[in-house]
Amino acid sequence: MKSGRLVPLVLLFVSVAVVGTWFREGIIYAGAEVGLSPYFNPDRFLGIQQFTWWDDVAPGMLAPHFISAVPFYFLLSILQPMFSPLILQAAIFCVIFFLIGYGIYLLATDILDESRKKYAVFATLFYMFNSYTLVSVWHRFLYSTLILAATLPFLILFWRKWIKGGRFIHLSIFLLINFFSVYMYGNLATVITVWIALLLISLAEVLFPWQGKYYTGKLIGKFFTGLILWLLVNIWWIAPTFLIAPVILSQQHSSENNITTLILLGRQTVIPYLLQLANPFYLFYRQELGEVYSSTFFRILPWIMSALILIGLFVSLKLKNYAKYAVIFIVALLLSKGAAAPFSYPFIFGFEHSFFIGIIRNPFEKLGILLPLFGSIIFAIGLEGCYRFGLRRFGLGVARFGVFIIILALIIFAWPMFSGRIFGNKEFPVRVKVPESYIQANEWFKQQKENQGVILHLPFSGQDVVTYDWKEGYHGVEQNEILFTTLPSLSRTVGVKRVDDTLNSLTYIFNQPFLENEEQILRVLQLLNIRYIVLHKDTKWEDVATYGKDIKLINPFEMEISLDRLNFLKKDALFDKLVIYSLKSQFYQPKIVFFDTAELVYPGESDIMQIMSFSQGKNPTITADYMDLTETVLSRIGEISIFPQNILQYSVASESALINMASNMLNDPNNPASVMGQLRTIEANFYQSGQLSSANLVREIIVTGETLVRYFNLIRQQAESKLIFSAIENYNDSLNNIFENNFKDLSLTKLYKQQIANFFYLHLYILEYIEKQRPDERQKISDISIKLINSLKDNDLLPVYLQSYLPGKQEINRKILKYKIPVKSKYEIYMANNNTPDFYPDLLSKLELRVNDKSATISGEIDDKRIFLGDYDFDGSLYEISYNVLLSVNLVPELDDFLKVGNIKSENFGALHLTANAAGIAFLESPIGNVKGRDIYKISVDVLFKQGSKFYVEVIQNTEDFEDKKKFQTLKQGDCTFHSCYIIELYPGKEGWQNYTFFTQALNLASRKSSIRILIDNGEILIKNLLVNKVFDEDVVLKKRVNELPDSLPVGFVTADYQSPVFYSGKIRLDKPTFLFFKETFHPGWNLQLVKDGKVQTVDNHYLGNLYGNIWWVDNPGDFDFRIEFTPEQNVGKGIAVTIVTTIIIVLINCFLYFKRSILRK
Amino acid sequence: MRYLLGIIFFAIFSLVFIILEYGRFTLQKDELIQPVIFAAVAAAIFINCKCRRFVLSFSLILIIIMVVFYLFNNLSVSNWIGSLGVGILVILIFSYLPNLIKNGHI
C-alpha cells in the first residue's frame, strides 16, 4: 500500500486505540474552564451561544466572542439525538487526534523534498507526542487549543500553496477550513497565533532567499487578498466580537494585570523549560501528570528531542529550502518566551503601550503551538542528519536502533496519552457523571405550569466557579443554565463590576443578621425576578481552593433550615441533595414591571449591603446623572441617597513622631526600618509578584526621597548654591515624573495608599523645615510644596481640606469620604447603626464630624438602624466629610486567660514565653468580643525575640473552619492559611522589646464570630500588652427627601411575548406616566420602542435600575405595542449578510475558474 | 582602526541589549553582565566574521551546561546560563541574515 494511504489508516487506527483508552470507564471529561460544554446537551449550548446576549445566565450577560462556537454546536446538536455525550466526546477527540497527526503529515510531506519525504512520519510523531501537545494541548483541556493544534497544519499547508502557486482554489480551501474550525476563535488569541504563523511563512517565502521586488509585490498582493477575504468570510463573528468584546475585556483586565501575568508567566517559562517545550506549571510545579515527571529519567527524556531540534536547526540553516524554517522556529521561540530572558523588554513595552495585545498575556500557552509545529520539520531534518551520521559512522543497525530509541523516548514521555490519564489531576480529575437528581430536577421544572422567572441557585459564591461532591466530582465553571433548561439560572456573576456587586447580596442575605429581615430578602428576590430556588447541598462549600481565602460560602445544610423558615417560600421538591423552593404565587413579580415612584441612588464605593441597609423601601432605585433627569422624572423621585464616591483613611503622625521619622529618613535613609526602607520592601514585593508598573512607581517615589535627602544634606554641608539649586530642580523633576504617570489605577495606590500619602506628608514637613532655613529659596520651595499638595489631592492621596490638620501633639486618624453632590440642597447626614454606640464610649462627641473644613453640629438621633448626624447645606458639587477614626475598648482578655497550646510559660512581668521547634508549634488563642461582618481591628503587641525572627498573628472567622479543632493538630511550620494571617518579623538591627501595631483587613461580611491566634512555628518569643481594638468604620450617607410620595402602586398592565434573548415584544397599558423596569442586566444597547397607531416612539430616558437592570421612564400613558431589543445583536445579522455575499462570490469565482480551465484543456 | 570600531560597536550594542533586556538604564551591576556579553559577542561578530564558529561552540557549551544545572535542580543558574546561550545563538543566527537573504541558507 502506498504511504499516502497507509499513513492515514495507521493514524486512524492509533487515534481510535489511544482515544479508546481515555473513555474505557465510560465517563466523559468535563469541568475546569470548559465546564460541561460542548457534549452535555449541545442543543442547549447552541440555543444560548447563538446570541451575543445570554439571558439564560441570569440576569443576563454579554458574551459576544462565543458566537464563533455556533457551527460546532450546530453540528453536535444534530448528532445529539443519535449519540450519547460519551460517544460524541470520544468521536470528537478521535477526530482531533487524527487531524493533529494527519495535518502535520501532509504539511511535512509538502515541505520536505522527495529524498526526505519518509521523515514526514517522524515529524508527525513529534508533533503528536511532544511535551507541548501533551500538556498545553491535551492536558490543558481547552477546545480552542485542541482545534487550533489540529487545524493549523492544514491552514499553513493551503496558505503556502496559495502564496506560492496563486491558485484561488487553495485560498478557498483555506477559508473553508477556517469555517469548519471557527470554534477556535472563541479564544481571541487564536486569531493572533494563526496570523503570526501565516505572516512568518509569507515573510520567509519572500526573504529567504530574496525573490526580487516583482515577486514580493505579488506575494504582498496575495497576502492581503487572503487577509481581506478571511475578514469578510469571518465578519459574522468578528464584527460582534471586536465591536463589543474590547469593552468587556477592559472591564475585566487592566494593563497592569496583563503585564503582571506576562511577567509571572515569563518567570515560569524560562529557557530550560521552553527548550523542552514544557509547561512547568502543570508538569513540574503542580505535577498534574504525575510525580514521575520530576524524576531524573523523565527530566532527561525531553532533552533528547531538544538536542535533535538543535541539530536540525543547524542542518536546516545550511540547506536552501529549509533555512527559513530554522529562522521561523527561532522567531517563534522568541515570541513564545514572552517576558522571559533573554531580550525580555520588547514584550513588556508592547503590553505597556497596547491594551489589545494583552490577550496574549500568556505567550507560551497562546503562541507556543508554533514551536512544535515548525519544530516538527526541524526535528525531522535533525533526525535525518543523525541517522545519516550514524549510518556513515556505525552502520545501518546502529543508525536504526538510534532512531528507534529516539522515538521510544518520545512515546515514553507522552505516556499519559496511552494510559488514559491525560486530563485533570488527582484532586480534580475533570471526569463527570451528572447525578440523576439533576436530570430529575430538570424534568420536574419542565412539568411546572409557572414557566416564568429565574431559578436562583444557592449557595451563591459571587464567582463563576464551583466544586460539587458528585460521584466523580466536579470542579469548574458553574453551568446551571445547561443543567436546568426551562428557565434562566442565576448562579454566577456576569463580569460587570456594578452588577456583580449587586448580585453579591445573594451571598449574604441568607445569613445572619440579614436573615432577620424577611422583607428585604423578598425584595431582593423580586427585583431579580426569582421564581424558584434550588439549594445545592452537594456544593463543597468549604473548599478554599475553589473560592479563595477571601470568601466563604454558607453551609448549605444550615441554609436549608433558614430557607424553610421563610414564609414566602414553599418547599416544592427534593431530589437527593437538591432542594427546590418556589416563591409563593402572590409574591412573584414578572420580568417587566411598572412603578410610579422611584428613589435616586448614587452608590459610589459603598458595598451592596451598605446600600441595601439604607434603601429598604418598596420603590425601585435608579442611578443616573441628575442633570439628565427631566422635570417629570424628578417629580416622581421620592428620595435621593448619596454614598461616598471615594474613601480615604488619613493619618498624620504626631509632631514628635514626624520629627523622628524625618530624622531617620535624612540621617539613615538606607535603614530598612526607616520610611524609605519600608518603601524598598514594598518595591521588592511588587517585583517579586511581577507587578512591574507598581514596582517602577515605588522606585520613582524612592528616588524623590533620595533626591530630597541629597538636597537636605547639601544645605547642611553648606555646599555651593549651584549644587543646591540643581538638587531642588532634580527633586522637582522627579516629582513631575511620578504624577505624570497613570497614578490612580495601579495596585500600589490601592494597596499602599496610606503609606504613600504618609511618605509625601513627610516630604512636605521636611520642605517646610527647609523653607524656614533658606529664606532666599522660599518661593521655589513653596511652589514645589503647593504643587505636591495639589498632585496628592488630585490623586486622592490627601484630603482637599488639609490645612486644618497640621501635625500636633497627638496622632490624627480621620476617615475622609468624598461625595459628588448631584444637586445643591440641604441633605440629612446618616450613619448605619450596627449596635455601634455601645462599644465606643462618647462616640458622638468624639467623632468631630467635619464637612470640608468646617465642623458640623451633630444632633445624634439614634434609632435601631441609623444614626442621624444632622442636616447640612451642600451648595457645591464636590464635598469631603471626615470624622475621627475611633477605637473600641480592648476586646480580648488578659494573656493568662488565653487558650494555650504547646510550650508556653508565664513570666513574672505579665508576659508569656512561647517556644516552638521541630517537636511542635505553640499558640495562644482567644475569641474577640462583639464581632460583626466587615470589622477591622487595630492589633498592638509588645514582643521580645529570644530566638528566631518571625511569628504569626491570625484572625480566624466563623465563615472559615472556625470550629475545626483538627486544624490545630495539623498546623505545621510556615502554616498561615486563614483569611487574615499576618507575619510579624523582627525589625532588622533592633534588639529588646519592640512594639508591633497594625490594622487588619476587614472581616468577611457574613462573619459573626472571630478569634485571634498568636502562633510561633520555630523559635522563642516573649509577648505582653496585647490589645485588640475594633476600628469604627461606618460609611456616611447623605439623604434628601425630594417629594413626599407614597410607596409605588400598580400603574400598568403588560402582556409580553418572549421572542428571543435579544427581543421582547407585547402590549402595555399605562394608566399614567411610569417607570418601566426590565429585569435584565443593564446595557446601553437595550432599546425600548412604543408603537401606537403605526407611529414608533423610541424611549430615551434609560437608566440603571436597582443597581443592575434597565429602567425607562415612559411619560405618556395609553395602550401601546412595545419592543425591547438588544441593538448590538444587529451587528451579527449584518455580518452574516456580508459573509454570505462573500461566500457566494468566492464560489462563483471558483466555478468561473473551473470552467475556464476546462475550456482551456479542451 | 578595527580596535576603535570594535569599541564603538561594543558601546552601541551594549545600549541596544540593555534596552532589549530591561528597557531602562538604572541597573544593578549583576544585571549588566548578560547585555555586556551579548554586546561583546555582537561586536566581535561584526568586526570579525571568522569568530562565528567559536561563538557557536561557546553558545552550545552554555546550553549543555544549562542542561547539566537543570538536571541537578539548580534552575536559577540553569536559566541564567541558558538564556545567555540562547541569546548568543539568536545573535549568531541573526548575524547570518545577509547570507540567508542572499542565498537562502548559510
Q: Name the nearest CA neighbour of A492 among A1006, A33, A1007, A60.
A: A60
| Alpha carbons A678 and A504: distance in angstroms, whole number | 36
Asked whether the predicted pLDDT for residue A1111 surpasses 90, the reply is yes
Name the minimum distance, in Å, from the CA of B82 to any CA of chain A: 6
Q: Mean of the pLDDT values across residues A782-800?
A: 88
| Cβ(A680)–Cβ(A702) below 8 Å | yes
Centroid of chain to Cα A52:
21
Asked whether the predicted pLDDT for residue A975 surpasses 70, the reply is no
Write down the pLDDT at residue A2: 61
Give me the DSSP letters along A931-976.
Answer: --TT--EEEEEEEEEEE-SEEEEEEEETTSSTT-THHHHH--TT--
Across the interface, whether the CB atoms of A300 and B71 are under 8 A apart is answered yes
Q: Mean of the pLDDT values across residues A758-780?
A: 86
Across the interface, whether the CB atoms of A270 and B22 are under 8 A apart is answered no
Upstream peptide bond of A85 is cis (omega within 30 degrees of 0): no
Contact list, A350 vs chain B (CB under 8 Å): none
Contact list, A303 vs chain B (CB under 8 Å): 67
The residue whose grid cell reads 525589625 is A987
Name the minimum distance, in Å, from the CA of B12 to any CA of chain A: 16
Nearest to A323 among B26, B85, B104 (CB): B104
Across the interface, whether the CB atoms of B90 and A300 are under 8 A apart is answered no
Letter string b/e over residues A164-190, b meaning 16 or more CB atoms within 10 A of that residue's CB? eeeebbbbbbbbebbeebbbbbbbbbb
Across the interface, whether the CB atoms of A341 and B23 are under 8 A apart is answered no
In the structure, what pLDDT confidence band is assigned to residue A511 with cuts at 50, 70 and 90?
confident
| Alpha carbons A48 and A33: distance in angstroms, whole number | 17
Q: How many CB atoms lie within 10 A of CB A421?
A: 18
Write down the pLDDT at residue A966: 47
Give me the DSSP letters along chain B.
Answer: -HHHHHHHHHHHHHHHHHHHHTSSS---HHHHHHHHHHHHHHHHHHH-GGGHHHHHHHHHHHHHHHHHHHHTT-HHHHHHHHHHHHHHHHHHHHHTHHHHHHHS--
Phi, psi of A777, deg, nearest 5: -105, 10
Contact list, A318 vs chain B (CB under 8 Å): 105-106
Q: Name the nearest CA neighbour of A687 among A981, A982, A267.
A: A267
In the structure, what pLDDT confidence band is assigned to residue A566 with cuts at 50, 70 and 90?
very high
Asked whether the predicted pLDDT for residue A891 surpasses 70, the reply is yes
Write down the pLDDT at residue A394: 94
Q: Name the nearest CA neighbour of A433 among A23, A28, A80.
A: A28
Write down the pLDDT at residue A599: 92
Contact list, B20 vs chain A (CB under 8 Å): 342-346
Q: How many CB atoms lie within 10 A of CB A859?
A: 13
| Cβ(A63)–Cβ(A1062) below 8 Å | no
| Alpha carbons A784 and A770: distance in angstroms, whole number | 12
Q: Mean of the pLDDT values across residues A510-537?
A: 89
Share of chain A above pLDDT 90, in %: 53
In the structure, what pLDDT confidence band is assigned to residue A973 with cuts at 50, 70 and 90?
very low
For chain A, which residues lie within 8 Å of any Cβ of chain B, measuring from their own Cβ? 207-210, 270-272, 275, 296, 299-300, 303, 310, 317-324, 326-327, 330, 333-334, 340-346, 348-349, 699
| Alpha carbons B66 and A26: distance in angstroms, whole number | 44
Asked whether the predicted pLDDT for residue A377 surpasses 90, the reply is yes
In the structure, what pLDDT confidence band is assigned to residue A1050 with cuts at 50, 70 and 90?
low
Contact list, B78 vs chain A (CB under 8 Å): 272
Residue A206: closest C-alpha in chain B:
B101
Q: What does the block give as the cell for B27? A: 541597573
Give me the DSSP letters along A42-79.
Answer: HHHHHHHHTSSEESSBTT-EE-GGGGGGHHHHHHHHHH
* Burial of A685 from C-beta contacts in 10 A (0-12 / 13-18 / 19+): middle
Centroid of chain to Cα B69:
20
Element (H, E) at A458: strand A454-458
Of A529-538, A542-551, A658-667, B71-80, minimum mean pLDDT range? A542-551
Share of chain A above pLDDT 70, in %: 94
| Cβ(A961)–Cβ(A542) below 8 Å | yes
For chain B, which residues lie within 8 Å of any Cβ of chain A, measuring from their own Cβ? 17, 19-23, 26, 34, 38, 60, 63, 66-67, 70-71, 75, 78-80, 82-87, 90, 93, 96, 100-106
| Alpha carbons A500 and A460: distance in angstroms, whole number | 12
Name the minimum distance, in Å, from the CA of A423 to any CA of chain B: 27
Give me the DSSP letters along A163-212.
Answer: HHH--HHHHHHHHHHHHHTGGGGGSTHHHHHHHHHHHHHHHHHHHTTT--
Write down the pLDDT at residue A675: 82
Centroid of chain to Cα A520:
30
Q: Which residues contact A488 (CB under 8 A, 6 or more apart)?
A: A55, A56, A57, A58, A59, A454, A455, A481
Name the minimum distance, in Å, from the CA of B60 to any CA of chain A: 9
Q: How many CB atoms lie within 10 A of CB A471?
A: 12
What pLDDT, in 10s, does the model give residues A330-356?
Answer: 999 999 999 998 999 998 898 888 877
- ipTM above threshold 0.95: yes
Across the interface, whether the CB atoms of B23 and A345 are under 8 A apart is answered yes
Write down the pLDDT at residue A809: 67
Tell me whether strands A598-602 and A637-642 are parallel, antiparallel or unpaired.
Answer: parallel
Q: Mean of the pLDDT values across residues A364-377?
A: 96
Q: What is the 3-state secondary structure (H, E, C) of A651-685?
A: EECCHHHHHHHHHHHHHCCCCCCCHHHHHHHHHHH
Q: What does the block give as the cell for A1017? A: 512555628
| Alpha carbons A1078 and A271: distance in angstroms, whole number | 54
Q: Mean of the pLDDT values across residues A986-999?
A: 82
Higher model confidence: residue A692 or residue A834? Answer: A692
Q: Mean of the pLDDT values across residues A546-562?
A: 76
Residue B99: closest C-alpha in chain A:
A209
Of A526-535, A646-655, A1028-1037, B50-59, minimum mean pLDDT range? A646-655
Q: Name the nearest CA neighbour of A431 among A92, A31, A88.
A: A31
Write down the pLDDT at residue A243: 82
| Alpha carbons A218 and A205: distance in angstroms, whole number | 12
| Cβ(A833)–Cβ(A867) below 8 Å | yes
| Alpha carbons A1065 and A1061: distance in angstroms, whole number | 11
In single-letter form, the type of residue at position A762 comes to L
